[in-house]
Structure 1
Amino acid sequence: MSKISFYIKNKKTHTTLYVRFSVKRGVLFRKSTQLQVDPKFFNTKTGKLKNLDNYTGGIELKATMEQLRGHISSYYNSANSDGEYLDSKWFGGVVNTFFNRVGDNKLEYLEEYAKHYVEKLPNNRNKNGTIGCTRATIVKYNTIHRKIVAYETSREKKYKVSDVGSDFRDDFLSFLIEELNFGENTAGRYIKFLKTVCLNAKRNGVRVHHQLESIQGFIKKTDKITLSFKEIEMIEKTVFEDKNLSVARDWLIIGCYLGQRVSDLLDITTDNLITKSGHRMIELTQQKTKKRVSILVHPKVEGVLKKYKGKFPPRFRESIFSNRLLFNEHIKEVARLSGLTEMIYGGLIDKSTRRKVWSNYPKYKLVSSHIMRRTFATLFYGDIPTALLISVTGHSTEKMFLQYIGKADIDYAEQLSKYWKVGNSGD
C-alpha cells in the first residue's frame, strides 16, 4: 500500500522539508520541496508538525503539506490506472508541478517528452495486466515524434508541452495538411496521438495547457469496404490457374468467417484447432491486443480445411512480413479475376507521393487483407449478438466496434425492430 510522508535532514533553523513516497515494498521515491520548516515544530518520528498554536505560519504550512499529499496521490492514481512506468523522474516531475517549478527538466519540452514517451512504451502495463506494447504502437509514436521535430524545424521554435492548446493544434494541423500534404484522416489521427502524449506528460507531473482536454483528434467518415455474401460466392466459384492465387483465395475465405487481423490469420495452424462440447473451435491469442479468443469453425472454413486434408492452406513465404505482403498482392488479383470490378469510392496510396488519394476505383483495387475482419463484423452484425461478435474481433468496446463497421447508435432501432417483428410474427 502506498504511503506519503515528510522528513528533514538536519535540525538547522528553517531547514528544507522533504517528501517521501513509498509505492510498495522496495519502491521508494524522495524529493525536496520548496517548503521550509522550523525543526522545533516538526516531529521526526511521525513526520508531522507539532505545537501549531505556538508556530507562526504553522497552520498554513500544514495545509500546504496536505495539499501536496493529495496532489501526489491524484497523480499516482491516474498513472497507476493507466499502467505508466513510475521512476524518480516521474516523482520529481509531480512535485515540481505542484510548486510550478520547472528547473532544468527537459521533459517539459514537447519533442523531448515525445521521445521519452516512446522510450518508456516497452515498460507500460496494459489494462489486461501484460507489460509492453506492439511494434506497430512504437512505430506510430515514433512517427508523431518525427512530425513534432519537423514542425519545430519549420517554425524555428522549440515548444513546451504546456504550449499545446487550441492555437497550437490548429497550426500543427495546418502544417500536416498543407505543408506535409497529409490526408485529413491521417492528420486527425496525429492530433489524437499528440494529445495522448501530452496527457501522459500531465500524469507524470509535467505542466500542460488548460485547453488540452478540449483538443480532439478526428476521422472523416468514409464508406467501409467489405465483401457481400454474393461476392464471397463469386470468389469461391472462380477457378485460378495460378496456385498462389488459389491459396490466397482460400485464406481470404477463411478470413471472412474468422474475423481476425491478417497478423493472426496467417499464423493459424492445426495446433489452434480444439474441440469443446462437441464443437470445433479455433483458439488463439491476438498479437495486437493479447486477448485470448475462441472462434467456432464455420462450415465454409471446414470446407477449405477439407480441401487441404484437414490442414490450413500453405504460406507463400517463411518470412511473416513477406507472407503478408504477397497475400495482399494476390487477393487484389483474386478479386479482379472474380469480377469485383464495380466502381466504388475509396482511398489508394499514390506510390510517387506516398499519400492516399480518394476517388472512384474498381473495387478489386481497394481489396486488402483488412477487408476480411470488417466483412465478418459487417455481415453478421444484427444476426449474431454484438457481444459475441466483439468476443471474436477483439474490439475493446461496443462503441469501437460500431465505429469500425460504420454503424451509428440509431442502428439499435433497426435491430430492435427486427427482433420485435420476429417476436410478433405469431400474433
Structure 2
Amino acid sequence: MFVKNKFTCRLAIQIYKMATVNFRLRSSANKNVSIYLYLSLGRGQMYQSKTGFSIHPKDWSIKTKKPKQNSAENKKVFSNLNKLEVYIYDQVNVSLANGEIIDKLWLDAKINDCFSRVKKTDRSVVANHVQYIIDNANTRKIKGSNKIGLSNKRIAGYKTFKTIIQDYQTTIKSQIHFMDINKVFVEGFTNWLINDRKYSINHAGKQIDNLKTVCRDAESMDIKTHSYSGRIESFRERNEDRHIITLSFQEIKQIKDAEIKSEALKNVRKWLVVGCAIGQRASDLLRLTEEDVRFEKGNYYIDIIQQKTKRFVTIGVLDPDVIDIIEAGNFPYPISLQKLNKYLKKLCAEAKIDEVVQGKKMDKKTMRKKLDFYPKNELISSHSFRRSFATNYYKKIPTPILINITGHSKESMFLEYINRKEDKDENANLFMKFYQDLNKEKDSELRVIRSSSSA
C-alpha cells in the first residue's frame, strides 16, 4: 500500500486496527450451508456477504470461526478463507485511506476480486443502472417513436450523469440506491450541484431531469424505486436570467463585407452565412455538402435529416450570398465544431462585432461560466447561427413555417428558444396584414375580370 505522508500512514494503521473480519454460518441445518464474511468498521458499520464457499455445520469450528481441518476439502476452504481475510483487511486499508465508499456492494465486489470471479451487478444502484442503459444504448427504444438506438449525444449525456452520480457518492460516502431517491435526497443533490459544483441552473436542472428519467426507466424494469421519484420536479433558468447571443441582419452584413485575409476565417464566414440563413443546429449544418443542395423549378433547396429529431426538413434558399456560394461551387469545406467556434470568435473580432453585451463566458480559474459584460465577439458561438435565424425572421415569417425549419415541436418551445413571450396583439396584427394582402389579391383579380367583361 502506498501512503503519502506520516499522517496518512498513522490514519491507515488506525483504520486497519478498527476493521474486524470474521466468518460465520447463519444456519445449523443438516446440510452444506453458506459461509458468510462479516466486516465491522466500528460505529455501527457492519456488512455481511456470502463468500461463495459452503460447509457442513459439523465441520465448522465455533472457536476459530473457520473450517475444521479434518479433510482435504475443508483444508482448501480454510486456506481460501485465510486468503480472503488478508485481502479484505488490505483493501479496507487502501479504500478508506483513499476516501472510497465501503458498503455491502464494495464487500461483494472485493470478494469477487479476491478470487477473480465474474461480478454480478446490483441494478438497485443508480450508477449501475445508468451503465446498463449505456451498455444497451443501441437497442433502447426511443420514446415517442417506433425507432431504437440512442444518439451519440444522448449516450454522452448518460456518461456525464453517471460520473456526476459517482462523484456525489464519494461526497456523501454512500452508494446511491433507487430507494434513496426521496425529497430530502433530491434537495441535497440539487444543492450540491449548484452550490458545491457551481453548475449553471440549466446544467443542474438537466441532471435532475436525468435522475427522474433513470428512475422511471428502472421502475419500468420492475426495480423498486422510492415513491417520490415520480414527483421529482424539473427546473431551468428563468427567462429574465437568460442571455441569448444573436447576430442582427446588420451585423451579419458587416461580417460579410469585412476584409478578411485568412482562408480559414473566410471558410468560417461561409459557414456563418449559410448557418444564419437556414437555421439548423451546428451538428446538422457541418454535415452539409453540395450534394445536399438541389435545384428545382428555378429555386435552390437544401434537404436535411436532423440528427436530434430525425425529422426530414427542406429549406428554400433565397439569401443571395448563399446562392452565390452554391453557384460558384464554393461551398465551405468541413471543419470540426471546436475549430469553428474558435475561429468564429476571431472572425467576429476582425469584423468589429465588438458591442459590449451581457453574457456568460468560461472562467479559466473556476472552469465555470461567469456572467459579466464582454465584447459580443467573445460570446459568439455556432449556436448563435440558429438563434439568429429564428430571432431575425420571427414575426416576418409565420411562426409555423419557422418552427418547421428549426425543428421545434411546439411554438412555446420556439418562443422560449429565442426568449420571447407570445405577443397576442402582434399575432392579431400579423393576421390582419395577411388578411389585407389576401383581399388585395382578390380585389385585383375582380378588377381584371370586370375589365375583361366590359371589353
Structure 1, 279-288 or 392-401: larger mean CA deviation = 392-401
CA distance 1:421–1:396, shift in 2 (3 Å): closer
2:413: which partner in 1? 400
Q: Secondary structure at the match of 2:219?
A: helix
More contact order relative to length (CA 8 Å, sep ≥ 6): 1
Alpha-carbon distance between aligned partners in 2 of 1:254 and 1:210, rounded to the nearest angstrom: 49
Please, what is the CA RMSD of the aligned residues? Answer: 2.2
Alpha-carbon distance between aligned partners in 1 of 2:274 and 2:387, rounded to the nearest angstrom: 13
Instruction: State whether structure 2 residue 155 is matched by structure 1 residue 134.
Output: no
2:247: which partner in 1? 227
Alpha-carbon distance between aligned partners in 2 of 1:213 and 1:420, rounded to the nearest angstrom: 46
1:355: which partner in 2? 368
2:430: which partner in 1? 418
Q: Secondary structure at the match of 2:168?
A: helix
Alpha-carbon distance between aligned partners in 1 of 2:396 and 2:220, rounded to the nearest angstrom: 42
- Per-residue deviation at 1:133? 1.8
- Per-residue deviation at 1:128? 4.1
The one-letter amino acid of 1:386's match is: T
**2:139 counterpart (115, 120, 123):** 123
Q: Secondary structure at the match of 1:106?
A: coil
Instruction: State whether structure 2 residue 256 is matched by structure 1 residue 236.
Output: yes
The one-letter amino acid of 1:174's match is: N
Say whether the 8 Å CA contact 2:290–2:326 is kept in structure 1.
no
**2:293 counterpart (273, 286, 302):** 273
Alpha-carbon distance between aligned partners in 1 of 2:349 and 2:234, rounded to the nearest angstrom: 36
**2:194 counterpart (165, 177, 182):** 177
Say whether the 8 Å CA contact 1:270–1:311 is kept in structure 2.
no
- Per-residue deviation at 1:312? 0.9
CA distance 1:265–1:340, shift in 2 (3 Å): same
The one-letter amino acid of 1:195's match is: K
Say whether the 8 Å CA contact 1:268–1:312 is kept in structure 2.
no
Structure 1, 115-124 or 265-274: larger mean CA deviation = 115-124
Larger Rg: 2
1:389: which partner in 2? 402
Structure 1: give runs of 5+ residues left out of the alignment. 1-103, 317-322
- Per-residue deviation at 1:424? 6.0
The one-letter amino acid of 1:184's match is: I
Instruction: State whether structure 2 residue 218 is matched by structure 1 residue 201.
Output: yes
**2:178 counterpart (161, 166, 171):** 161
Say whether the 8 Å CA contact 2:121–2:128 is kept in structure 1.
no
CA distance 1:129–1:298, shift in 2 (3 Å): farther
- Per-residue deviation at 1:280? 1.5
The one-letter amino acid of 1:392's match is: I
**2:385 counterpart (355, 366, 372):** 372
Alpha-carbon distance between aligned partners in 1 of 2:140 and 2:209, rounded to the nearest angstrom: 19
Alignment of 1:15-414 (within 5 A): 106-126=122-142, 127-220=144-237, 221=239, 222-300=242-320, 301-306=322-327, 309-316=328-335, 323-408=336-421, 410-414=422-426
CA distance 1:392–1:344, shift in 2 (3 Å): same
Structure 1, 104-113 or 288-297: larger mean CA deviation = 104-113
For 1:359-408, what per-residue CA distance to the aligned partner results, in whole angstroms no more than 9, with x for missing partners?
A: 11111100000100111111112222222222211223333222211123
Q: Secondary structure at the match of 1:211?
A: helix
Alpha-carbon distance between aligned partners in 2 of 1:214 and 1:417, rounded to the nearest angstrom: 41
The one-letter amino acid of 1:153's match is: T
Say whether the 8 Å CA contact 2:255–2:269 is kept in structure 1.
yes
Say whether the 8 Å CA contact 1:261–1:373 is kept in structure 2.
yes
Q: Secondary structure at the match of 2:136?
A: helix
Say whether the 8 Å CA contact 1:332–1:367 is kept in structure 2.
yes
CA distance 1:153–1:334, shift in 2 (3 Å): same
- Per-residue deviation at 1:421? 5.3
Structure 2: give runs of 5+ residues left out of the alignment. 1-119, 441-455
Alpha-carbon distance between aligned partners in 2 of 1:254 and 1:424, rounded to the nearest angstrom: 33
CA distance 1:179–1:223, shift in 2 (3 Å): closer
- Per-residue deviation at 1:279? 2.6
Alpha-carbon distance between aligned partners in 1 of 2:263 and 2:176, rounded to the nearest angstrom: 56
Structure 1, 366-375 or 398-407: larger mean CA deviation = 398-407
Alpha-carbon distance between aligned partners in 1 of 2:369 and 2:150, rounded to the nearest angstrom: 27
Give the percent of matched residue pairs that are identical in Structure 1 and Structure 2: 32
Say whether the 8 Å CA contact 2:280–2:405 is kept in structure 1.
yes
TM-score (norm 2): 0.65
Paired residues, number: 315
Say whether the 8 Å CA contact 2:301–2:316 is kept in structure 1.
yes
Alpha-carbon distance between aligned partners in 2 of 1:414 and 1:198, rounded to the nearest angstrom: 43
Alpha-carbon distance between aligned partners in 2 of 1:230 and 1:240, rounded to the nearest angstrom: 18
Q: Secondary structure at the match of 2:303?
A: strand
